[in-house]
Amino acid sequence: MQATPPTDDFWQSLMARPELAIVPESCRDERRLHDALALKPLRAVKSEELAAIRDEDARANYAMLLQFRDGVVKAGSLSAWYAQLFTSGKITLAPLFIDIAVKEILREVLPAESDAFMLRAAELLYRPQRITIHEGRILSGDQTALDTEKDTGGLGDLGRLLLQNKINVAGNDAQTLRVLNPEHALTFQEQSTQPNYRHTWLLDLTHEQSAQVGQDHHSFEIRLARKDSGLAALSRVLELWIEHFKGTRVRITPLSKIEDPAWRWHTGLDAQSTELLNTLYQQQPLAESQLKRLITLFRLDFLDAADCLPEMRSKPTYLGLAMNEQGLLKLKPQNLLLNLPFAQKQ
């Protein structure tokens, strides 16, 4: 795992986040600490400086920032910090900072020539998604962006005001929410680099047909993905994620079916799919509600047999991805580092 320490620019960018930004109610001590960290983000902060902040929430936010910063500095890089965080089993940091770390790590993971589909698929690793079934298509949209569109009609604070006064702003979704396809790839890439990028692009994760349970031992099937589906791009991002942290090359393929009497290993990429795969592995029937929540299956193969446990050589590992009952997907990339049959390093 080759990784470099984050720059001062990275730490300074955190000071502009809403959780840490100065507001009119900010006390003098909070303003002083904010200005000092914005100027010199790695400066030591005395406990009395933190205790002097009047607002309890603001004080807690700064404490969390300093815990994050000091942990990364001690580890030497964001990647090393991330790997240590999940192997320690002691996670006291807010998910926000973990997602910030994943986003920054992906800058090193993804090749400079990554296409629009890979860039959009990478967002699934650090931004919760809302899954929508529209005209038979499985569309993944940024949860925050979609909820904002729903609440404001795509017009921000103005839209919220109009909706509160029952003034119709229908039709804005069509202008602001678009499904990513090759025709829009360049537009997406340009927008995604802007500071005010609103994450309004939908990623198509559609299979040709919905899931079906077979009658055979460990049998479960999903039709192959559409040619322009984002599943291939997501597979590639997950491959690179594993290679970055483990130095292990794998091949991940969207799967047409699991029909494997010698099924030995599986890993869910989220809590929902973990439960689903466990049920299948134990040869228990799936409820209709579980089937509807399944988004996709994958097959993972180690390209070098020496990188996996001896008992798993020449055997596939199965992955799953599913949404919860509210249609939300929170992919957990750490599962790929903790729950795969990696060989023990000497």
CA distances from 55 to 45, 61, 164, 307, 335 (A): 17, 10, 31, 50, 36
User: Please, which pLDDT band fits residue 137 given cuts at 50, 70 and 90?
Assistant: confident
DSSP 306: G
Q: What's at 77, amino acid-wise? A: S
Per-residue model confidence (pLDDT) at position 149: 76
The pLDDT value given to residue 161: 44
Percentage of the chain lying above the pLDDT 90 cut: 68
CB 295 within 8 A of CB 323: yes
Residue corresponding to tokens 């984002």: 230
Closest CA to 312 of 250, 269, 236, 254: 250
Q: Decide: residue 283, CB within 10 A, 0-12 exposed, 13-18 middle, 19+ buried.
A: exposed
Put residue 212 in one of left, alpha, beta given phi > 0 → left and psi -120 to 50 → alpha: beta
Q: pLDDT digits over 144-196, tens only?
A: 998 887 765 554 443 444 445 444 444 444 346 889 999 989 999 999 988 88
**Token output for 185:** 């790839």
Asked if residue 227 has pLDDT above 90, the reply is no
Average pLDDT over residues 254-261: 83
**Cα–Cα distance measured from residue 6 to residue 101, given in angstroms and rounded to the nearest whole number:** 10
| Sign of the dihedral through C-alpha 51, 54, 55, 61 | negative
Q: Rounded to whole angstroms, how far apart are CA atoms 337 and 128?
A: 19
Start-to-end CA span in the chain (Å): 16
For residue 193, the SS3 value is coil
In terms of DSSP bridges, do strands 317-322 and 266-268 run parallel, antiparallel, or are they unpaired? Answer: parallel
User: If 0-12 CB within 10 Å is exposed, 13-18 middle and 19+ buried, where does residue 206 land?
Assistant: buried
Question: In terms of DSSP H, where are the helices of the chain?
Answer: 8-14, 28-39, 47-51, 56-75, 78-88, 95-109, 116-122, 143-152, 156-164, 172-176, 185-192, 231-246, 271-281, 288-293, 335-338
- The answer to whether the beta carbons of residues 196 and 211 sit under 8 Å apart is no
> Quick one: tokens of 343?
């060989």
272-318 confidence digits (pLDDT tens): 999 999 998 888 888 888 888 999 999 999 999 999 999 999 999 99
pLDDT at 23 over 60: yes
